[in-house]
Amino acid sequence: MTTDAVATGPDGHNARAAATPGGPTGDEPTLLGVTAIPRTPVGAPVSAEAPSGDGPLAGPRRPLWARLGAGARRHWLFAVLLAVGAALRVLVMYAYRPAFEFSGDSYAYLTLAHLTRPDPMRPAGYPVLLRLLGDVGLLGDAGHLAVVPAVQHLAGLAIAVALYALLVHRRAHPVVAALATTPVLLDAYQLDIEHFVMAETLFLALLVAALVALLWSPRPSVLACGLAGGLLAGAGLVRTLGVVLGVLALAYVLVRRLGWLRLAAFSVVLAAPLAAYAGWFHSYHGSYALTGGDAAWLYGRVAPIADCSRLDLTTEQLGLCSPHSPAARPGPNYYVWADTSPRFQLTGSEQHKNAVLADFAHQVILRQPADYARMVAADVGHYFLPGRSTGYRDWPVGSWRFPTADPPYYWHTSVPLLDLDGGHPARVINEPAAGWLRAYQRFGYTPGPLLAVLVVLALVATGLGLPRPRLSGRGLRRPWALDGPPAVVTAAAYAEPGPGPRGAPRPALEGLAALGLGDPFLADPATAARTEGGGGPAGRGGGPPFPSRRAERRAARRHRRANQDPVVAERRRLSADCALLVALGVTVLVVPSATVCFDYRYLLPVLVLFPPAAALAIRQFVLSRPADPPPPRRLG
């Protein structure tokens, strides 16, 4: 670290303002959302008592009311947003009782809560939660079905609190961190989906908890890495999409070079629950998988674009071709669920049917790659358009809007409610509260173009934190140890990197030693290993054996890590974090668009991914500003 880097402070800017009378006080957050700490001059006596004041090193403990007031001034915006989000959720609980149910997924989850075998279409993660609520007596009768949305609304508030705590801990400004939680707190579609007996809210909670465990510390502990892996495994057992997100998080651990022990902890705890569930699934369905309906979903996805004249199909597979003209073909859900779908004409075992459907879908993807890519790209781009509109092949957005007393049947939200005991509780809609929510949902959602802007900010921040290319040839090989007159630094930097004769320093080191500047360069572990004790079996005087190149590289990496500029380290970490959040969000949109259909339900997870990524991006932009120049030195 150079003298200028120390003088600028950990934010890369002039930290001397903290010690000036006009600098920020302990109750006033700086631009980065943290309070500057006064510095003690080198050589000054250190008092046994902590300095008085309002900073983190304050000695006398301030009264409770003063600390609460300081916290309220700093976190007032998030407190307001959290209160509004809680009030909206209470209003939803009052206006629509006891819960929303989607006739496909909700009925299946409530039924699966009683089964002791895996379902071939849906993993068992969410039914386990419903069964736990039933075992503790919270779902003992029809009137207690409202406990499910109540728990999920509380989870939505907890998600916002966790994201805010993470961003403030990562030194984002409190206002920026609060704004990043606005979508999950106030988005009307998020409020609506939390009120459904569906797995989306549990999936979000597990995903956010895993991100907090993984992104909280600069170098997460082995326990934190294992916890993150376990939470992502749980997310994979709630929605199989979580498995893909777990693989992306594994790549993040690799890129961050957190160490083999942390990588092993994350990988083992991620894979073990998934492998155990796959073995349980195999014992009943004959295949190692989490679900068995992937082939049917993929067939439904490609059937609207399939051109059977370009495919090499068997006689049995010819029956899977749609009888409709390409322009008049229905959406993917028809081919998956409708009784008249061609897939229900197949005969034989389930394994045989899945193999036939999978081969048909794979042929469409491989022989019509342009058509398939165009369809997926159009659906992904649809999420970033203004408004909330759907086409005839998309799942209707009305399913995720606050309903009236008589919604259309094809929304699948008007069927009689089902509770855990098989009863049918009455559906109650209280007006005018329900009307207020419907009016709020017309404008109270996260616009698609705003999400696109957040993605662009995060991508720019990712690029700003990437390491710069190193000099080739005989460029600076150990620049952290070079500090001295330009001529000497140049001689040392471009000296021959190979070792000289054993027991004798290289010419550049001789020049540094003659000027009294050799110690910093010799402090480099790799250089010291090459120049020390030149005898022994590897040298001439019976000294210790000469270290290997691998040992030198390990020592050099440890030295670089210990002496790395903290601003550079934080910027690279922010770059990796932004890349992870954007990759997770894009995957959340691409995978359903490529394998299922377009559905605004799949947009909701990005509300906890893109806004935090943009908040960290703003932190990256602040650190990327040029540092304040050091004050001129007096001569003489």
Whether residue 22 has pLDDT greater than 70: no
Whether residue 304 has pLDDT greater than 60: yes
Angle at 450 (CA atoms; ends 448, 452), nearest 5 degrees:
75
Whether residue 515 has pLDDT greater than 90: no
List pLDDT tens digits, range 385-410: 999 999 888 999 999 999 998 888 88
List pLDDT tens digits, range 221-242: 999 999 999 999 999 999 999 9
The reported pLDDT for the residue numbered 626 is: 77
Q: How confident is the model at residue 7 (pLDDT cuts 50, 70, 90)?
A: very low
Angle at 102 (CA atoms; ends 430, 419), nearest 5 degrees:
75
Whether residue 99 has pLDDT greater than 80: yes
Which residue ranges make up each domain of the chain?
A: 293-383
List pLDDT tens digits, range 160-194: 999 999 999 999 999 999 999 999 999 999 999 99
Q: How confident is the model at residue 286 (pLDDT cuts 50, 70, 90)?
A: confident
- Mean pLDDT highest for which of 48-52, 296-300, 512-516, 546-550? 296-300
Whether residue 478 has pLDDT greater than 50: no
Q: Where is average pLDDT lowest: 108-112, 141-145, 237-241?
A: 141-145
Whether residue 29 has pLDDT greater than 50: no
Q: What residues pair up with 96 in beta bridges, in sequence order? A: 429
List pLDDT tens digits, range 580-612: 999 999 999 999 999 999 999 999 999 999 999
Q: How confident is the model at residue 425 (pLDDT cuts 50, 70, 90)?
A: confident
Q: Which letter does DSSP use for residue 196 in this model?
A: B
Burial readout 283-296 (b: 16 or more C-beta within 10 A, e: otherwise):
eebeeebbbbbbbb
Whether residue 481 has pLDDT greater than 50: no
Whether residue 451 has pLDDT greater than 90: yes
Q: Given CA atoms 334, 340, 344, 346 in this order, what sign does their dihedral have?
A: negative
**Average pLDDT, integer, range 507-513:** 50
Question: The tokens 């009378």 sit on which residue?
Answer: 21
Reading the block at residue 258, the tokens are 């957190």
User: 369 burial class (0-12, 13-18, 19+ CB within 10 angstroms)?
Assistant: exposed
**Average pLDDT, integer, range 486-507:** 45
Q: What is the mean pLDDT of the chain?
A: 80
Reading the block at residue 633, the tokens are 């030195």
Longest dimension (CA), the chain: 96
Q: Given CA atoms 197, 162, 450, 380 in this order, what sign does their dihedral have?
A: negative
The reported pLDDT for the residue numbered 444 is: 94
**Average pLDDT, integer, range 352-370:** 93
Distance (Å, whole) CA 234 – CA 253: 18
The reported pLDDT for the residue numbered 397 is: 93
Residues with Cβ within 8 Å of 316's Cβ and at least 6 positions away in sequence, in order, are: 346, 356
The length of the chain in residues reads 636
Distance (Å, whole) CA 91 – CA 86: 9
Nearest CA-CA partner of 525 in 507, 543, 552, 502: 552
Distance (Å, whole) CA 446 – CA 448: 7
Q: Where is average pLDDT lowest: 145-149, 215-219, 559-563?
A: 559-563
* pLDDT-above-90 percentage for the chain: 50
Virtual torsion, Cα 109, 110, 111, 115, nearest 10 deg:
80
**Average pLDDT, integer, range 431-458:** 95
